[in-house]
Structure 1
């Protein structure tokens, strides 16, 4: 077995460690998030997407163990980046639950960069759609989680937003910029999954109870961008279907 064929085994081992740490500390993560509650914080149900992401990543690793040939090129291209990603994910849980929030921002930004790297590397190859789907879910969620993490850190630091740039306006502008970036990225990559993850998160922000305390401005702005992202996702999906994106000649395994 070559070193590249062994890589998925290492991925799987570190993935299992990450899952164990997540399982142990999941309640503490929620406690910290609730302690430093912000306007941009999504409703609790949104975090259930982690289950889908982890199942997708597990399936992604298993495919690497089972499927050869074209998958080997992706493994060689990715090298140790997935392993680093799983380590960073575990570290983030530790530093966040310890309320080292500035450190958690640094870690999640680095984590996000490794996902970007993996996503773009897979995109460079003649990939099966299942090679990209878990990374799309992961990237979409971490992109927005990173933004929330920054706001959580600012809340811990006691940063106050004053007129005209109060918290409502800053949150609105942030959500608007993030939506534009997601749309542009979607058009470039023709990825319909990332916008749907963003839609899921934006709706969860709307559902967050504290949003009523800040009037209707943020509610309607977030709702607008949610619908906008959904429309882009549908359009992207149409383009992908039109070009027979799912009609690969490769088998599932």
Structure 2
């Protein structure tokens, strides 16, 4: 029996109580994340995210903070997670082996997303670092499992592979920015003299990690798009905003371009090879 036939056979089964519990958990996790997002953004009153923690999480909180418009990518990620939440709740997805492998991880990522916002508002800055590192680990596992499990159609690929890639890529940049904000808050003033050097080192490291993710992920383009997006807005923040740093801004532009160009080339070569192999 082929992989696709196996998936279709599983879909015809009613599923187990554990499958239903997973579907409910994903829905609950999304609701929690949404409520936490609205609370954290100040919709229900109080300061917005960039005003929390004495402004440490704002676009001017550190030398590696992206400019404000960068965070609009969360809207795309949230829409993707909302669509996934609805789709995975369908009876046809209840016993899907891929949902069984990934559903709990996706629910965990949404809980950690919401938890970060709760900690940012009511907890400490170091707590936000711990939360986002935990989120990054969960997303890395989600992305790795998505790579090794075969998608079943374009919708599956979009809502699992595409959303995981964007989420993973963006949180990779956000983890660096969040950590830099914490270090900026606790560091003595003289550390600022070495800010350009350490900023450049961290950006180069992000670029290496991004290419590693792209290669390990079969040159899926979504993580690279999100990372290049974040790096580009770090460049805007340092070249046109405060704190100003031309070296960090220029490095961010270069690293973003390298990540995007290499990833697109890798994706094109991989797809061409797939076409040749299919026609052989």
**TM-score, L = length of structure 1:** 0.86
Matched with 1:182 is: 210
Matched with 1:248 is: none
Please state if 1:13 is matched with 2:44. Answer: no
**Which ranges of 4 or more aligned residues in structure 1 deviate by more than 6 Å?**
none
What are the ranges of 5 or more consecutive residues in structure 2 without an aligned counterpart?
A: 1-14, 43-47, 276-280
What are the ranges of 5 or more consecutive residues in structure 1 without an aligned counterpart?
A: 246-253
Alignment of 1:56-205 (within 5 A): 56-66=80-90, 68=92, 72-78=96-102, 80-98=104-122, 100-128=124-152, 129-130=157-158, 131-160=160-189, 162=191, 166-189=194-217, 190-205=219-234
Greater alpha carbon shift after TM alignment, 105-114 vs 116-125: 116-125
Contact 1:7 1:79 in 2 (8 A): yes
Greater alpha carbon shift after TM alignment, 83-92 vs 45-54: 83-92
Shift of 1:231: 0.4
* Residues in 2 aligned to 1:144 and 1:33: alpha-carbon distance in whole angstroms: 19
Contact 2:36 2:114 in 1 (8 A): yes
Contact 2:33 2:114 in 1 (8 A): yes
**TM-score, L = length of structure 2:** 0.79
* Residues in 1 aligned to 2:173 and 2:95: alpha-carbon distance in whole angstroms: 29
Q: Secondary structure at the match of 1:80?
A: helix
Matched with 1:213 is: 244
- Cα gap change, 1:70 to 1:4, in 2 (>3 Å): closer
Larger Rg: 2
Contact 1:4 1:72 in 2 (8 A): no
Give per-residue Cα distances to partners, 1:125-177, cap 9 Å, x unaligned. 111422210000110011111111111111221344548x7011101110100
How many residues align structurally? 243
Shift of 1:193: 1.0
